[in-house]
Amino acid sequence: MRYLSIVFIITLTVVFQSCQKCDPSNKSTGLILEKAIVRVIGGEGGANFINSAGDYDAPIEVSFDNGLTYEPVDFSEYSVFSLPTTASCSSGYTRNVSRSDQAQVVTYTVTVTECEDCEGTTTIQNWVLTGKVPDTYTPVFEIN
């Protein structure tokens, strides 16, 4: 009986571990406006905290209708962030923007979940839109 219990436990362990799959889904948290899709036409990548059209050398547009129409970002109401990452071609991204009013710091964090079901890599800029963050705040960028 003890032998059967051990075999049963080992079998269950193998079955449940082999069923675990990587979930490369995307999620936005914190101050990020989840329904906004940011589009940048040209320009250079890099970690960016953009508070006016003059802060960046290319047009920045936003869509609030799943990409059907785009309009220039209204920087009197919004701020834009980017943080490029390079990961496997099957990856998920959790993007978070948080701010500390006391420290006057705004932090943009991108956490990457990489799956091993493809070869190759891809680089994305991770553009996001938030409500207006004061120009006086110091940006911090983190990749996990």
DSSP string, 14-36: HHHHHT-------EEEETB-TT-
The two three-digit tokens of residue 64, written as one number: 């609030």
Q: Is the pLDDT of residue 131 over 80?
A: yes
pLDDT of the residue at 20 = 54
Q: What residue type is assigned to position 78 of the chain?
A: Y
Residue 100 vs residues 12, 19, 139, 140: alpha-carbon distances, Å:
46, 41, 11, 11
- Is the residue at 28 inside a domain? yes
pLDDT of the residue at 47 = 97
Residue 39 vs residues 1, 65, 67, 82: alpha-carbon distances, Å:
64, 13, 9, 11
Domain span at 58: 22-143
Reported pTM: 0.82
- Is the residue at 57 inside a domain? yes
- Is the residue at 82 inside a domain? yes
Q: Is the pLDDT of residue 19 over 80?
A: no
- Is the residue at 3 inside a domain? no
Tell the residue number behind the tokens 């936005």, with chain if given. Answer: 28
Q: Is the pLDDT of residue 2 over 60?
A: no
Number of domains in the chain: 1
